Structures are given as C-alpha cells and as structure tokens.
Structure 1
Amino acid sequence: MLSSMTTSPTDPTEPTEPAGSPAGPADGAAASGTGRTADAPRPRRRVPAGAAVLRAEKTEAIRTAVFEELAAVGYGRMSIEGIARRAGVGKTAVYRRWRSKLHLVLDLVSALAVQGLPTPDTGSLESDLRLLYELTARALRHPVASQIIPDLQAEAARNPDMADALQKALRQGQASVASGIVRAAVQRGELAAELDEDLALDLISGPLYWRAVVVRAKQPKGYLARLAGATAAGLRAL
C-alpha cells in the first residue's frame, strides 16, 4: 500500500538561478578603449543554459515523508514544514511539486486507486477470494496504513475533495481486482453471467474492510478462510 507511487508534479522542472548579465557601458558615456558611443547595442542578458528536471529521489523522499507525517501527527496537524524537515528537503522543493498539503495528500491518495493489488488466479473462486483477503488484510495491518486511513476518513467528513479522493482510492483500487475474480469465476461456470457486479464488489470488499478498518477487530484463526467460503456462497446466490 505504501510502495512507490507515480505522481504528476505540477511543475515539470526545477528552476535554476538565472545567470548574471555582464555590465554594459553607462548611458551617455563612451565604452572604455573602444571609442563607441552610448547608442551602440547593449550587451544581451545571458539566458540560462537549461533547467534541471525534478529530482526523482527528492519526490520519493517527500512521498515517504507525507505518509510518515500522517501516521505521526494526522492530517490536521501535518504541515509542509514538517514534511520538508522529515524528507530532508527545503519547503520550496515541496511547493514545486504540490500547491498545498491538501493537493499533496489528494495526489498521493488518488494514486492508490491505480496502484491496486494483483488479481489472484488460483483456479477457483473460493481460493481466489481467500488469497485476496490475505493480501488485503496484510496491507491493512501495516502500522502506517492502519493509522492513516481512519484519520483521512475523519477529514473526509469535513472535506468533499478528500472524501472523493478517498472513495476512489478505497473502492476503485479494489474494483479491478474483484471484477477480475468475478469474470474468471463466470468463465469457469462458478458464477452466473448476469450477476450484479456492483453488488458483488460490495459483498467481496465490505466485510473485511468493516472488521479491519471500521471496528478494528482482531481476526480469529481461520477467519479469512471462512470469510472466503461465505463470500463465495453469497456470490453464487446473486
């Protein structure tokens, strides 16, 4: 969940300091030793040879720092200064990539929607579901993820932009995986071709998310296997 994510920085280059321009002769005075008058062409200001591309290692350090800051202090207390300090960069490096902490977090959270999990392909519906639940449970148990998601959910209740980004990250990130499992099961004849895929997604993703994130209850031994069996039975009934 916290692996490297591709973002689209808002500024494609790292600005460089413009080179200084050579001093020209003063207005109304002759150039020294040349006999030229002040109406001679004035020296042109040198143009910088180029601008440095945003350094990938800095961008990655900032991404990592954002997740660590969210886990440590929460969105409300998080600041660009704290992110920059943790990343070992200046505030300017952060602002070159994102306009504000809201845009920064929205960008990173939205990237989760396209990151996703690998689609299990074990040959049966129930075993596919069990593997999916094992991968998802492992990701949700990550200390950083377990702290960040509830905090962002609280912020989403006050911020429509955050709510939209979080909804996409949590739902769309699982949609392609769940759809892949359902389509494979339909092709094998385990599920009806006309089943409601949207309802199937709720049935696949809802129970584990509820237990792990909302009520934060521990999973007893064998829980994921039983959940996979119950979910498979529910999908067959759709």
Structure 2
Amino acid sequence: MERKSIDHHERRKPSGAAVIRPELTSALYRALFEEWAQTGYTGMSLERVADRAGAGKAAIYRRWPSKLEFACEAIRSVEVMRLGSTDRGSLQADIREYLRATRAVLRHPLVRRIIPDLVAERLRSTELSAMLDGIAVARRQFGHRLLDRAIARNELREDLDRELAIDLLFATLYSRMIVRGKAFKQVDLDRLVIALDAAIKTC
C-alpha cells in the first residue's frame, strides 16, 4: 500500500518545467505595449514590463530569450498589423474595407505612439529591421491580393504600377493620423475611397 502511494505521488509530481499560462502571456503582451508606448523600445525595461503584468522577470524569459524576441512575438500576436482578405465585390469596396480596418488600428492610442518609435528605431539600429520588414511584407501581400481581385474583375490593367498603388493605399491615413496626429472621420474616409479608386486606376 505504501509503495502504491509513493508511485502515485511520483506520477503526479511536476516535471520541473513551469506551466506557461496563456492568460499571463496575454498580460505580458499588454504590459509590453504599455511600457513601449511610454518609454520607447530602447528605454523599455523588462523588469517594469513584468511588474505591470503582476509577474516576475523569469516569466518573460521562460517564454522569450530576449527583449527582441518578446517584442516581435507580441507584434505577431495581435491583429494590429493584420487585415482580412475577404472579397467585397469591387475595387471601391475592397479599398473601403482596407481603409476601415487600417483606421481602426491607427486610432488605438498605444499604436499611435509605438509606430513612430518603430520607424525611429529602424533609423537608429537594425535590430528591429527583420520584424518591420515582416510587417511591411504582410501588409503589401494584402495589397497585392486586393489588386489581383480588381484585375480579375477587369477594373484594373494587368500592367499597373503595383508598388505605387499599394503605397497609395496606406500613405494618406498614415500621414494624417500618425505624422500629423489628426483625426480621420468617416466622411474623410468616404472621400478617400473615391480618390484612391480613381488614382489607382491611373497607376
């Protein structure tokens, strides 16, 4: 009987590896973004991030080997840089959905503070280049799918300047909301949809 009790205890004994709790991981992501927005990437302290999340610094290093890996995974974990690829039936409708989703992202107060820091950090160091390249590639892939659908519907020429067209999709919102810090209202979005539709058709 005693031997069985020991065996049962041994089977239930933790292996020594800490359990990675999803809710704590989410809390660490939120804390990272809050710290990042306040201090910038260079000034970000993982100790303060852990304190914000109500955890110890070891909780971070059990998940990510470095601040860079932590930051990259945090960006990938959220919908901040992602867009859907649903066919809305026309170029104008697809542009509208792209702008609506992008505006929703850029209206978030943390995003509006982190994005300029990302751009500035890239000028200071190459540390975040791979992550920023990945974000840019993902967004441009969405743009290419949008253009492909419009070409298939005979709304655009096959030989259009794709790079220029994709640059146009994001430039106005970024300039108004991030560079100038201004609001972008629904009426502004409606006008921009019409303007972009016309502009892209001339690319």
TM range (shorter): 0.7 to 0.9
Higher helix share: 2
Instruction: Report the TM-score, using the length of structure 2 for normalisation.
Output: 0.82
Is 1:63–1:108's contact at 8 Å kept on the other side of the alignment? yes
Change in Cα spacing, 1:167 to 1:144, as seen in structure 2 (3 Å) is: same
Residue identity matched to 1:126: Q
| Matched position secondary structure for 2:127 | helix
Change in Cα spacing, 1:130 to 1:198, as seen in structure 2 (3 Å) is: same
Matched residues, percent identical?
38
Change in Cα spacing, 1:220 to 1:97, as seen in structure 2 (3 Å) is: closer
| Matched position secondary structure for 2:99 | helix
Residue identity matched to 2:87: D
2:195 maps to what in 1? 230
Cα displacement string for residues 198-236 of structure 1 (whole angstroms, at most 9, x for unaligned residues) = 222112222222222223233356221221112111221
Q: Distance in 2 between matches of 1:60 and 1:204?
A: 31
Match of 2:102 among 133, 136, 140: 136
Q: Which runs of 4+ in 1 moved over 4 A?
A: 110-115
1:40 maps to what in 2? none
In our comparison, the structure showing a higher alpha carbon Rg is: 1
Q: In the comparison of the two structures, how many residue pairs are matched?
A: 192
Is 2:122–2:129's contact at 8 Å kept on the other side of the alignment? yes
1:201 maps to what in 2? 166
Change in Cα spacing, 1:138 to 1:70, as seen in structure 2 (3 Å) is: same
Match of 1:180 among 145, 155, 180: 145
Match of 2:29 among 46, 63, 67: 63
Match of 1:123 among 72, 89, 94: 89
Indicate the RMSD between aligned Cα atoms, in angstroms.
2.6
Q: Distance in 2 between matches of 1:113 and 1:161?
A: 22
1:189 maps to what in 2? 154
Q: Distance in 2 between matches of 1:208 and 1:112?
A: 20
Residue identity matched to 1:184: R
Q: Does 1:99 align with 2:65?
A: yes
Q: Distance in 1 between matches of 2:18 and 2:92?
A: 52
Shift in Å, 1:100: 2.7
Cα displacement string for residues 105-155 of structure 1 (whole angstroms, at most 9, x for unaligned residues) = 133335569961112432111122122112211110111111111122222
Residue identity matched to 2:128: M
Match of 1:215 among 177, 180, 185: 180
**Structure 1 unaligned runs (5+)?**
1-45
Is 1:126–1:229's contact at 8 Å kept on the other side of the alignment? yes
| Matched position secondary structure for 1:160 | coil
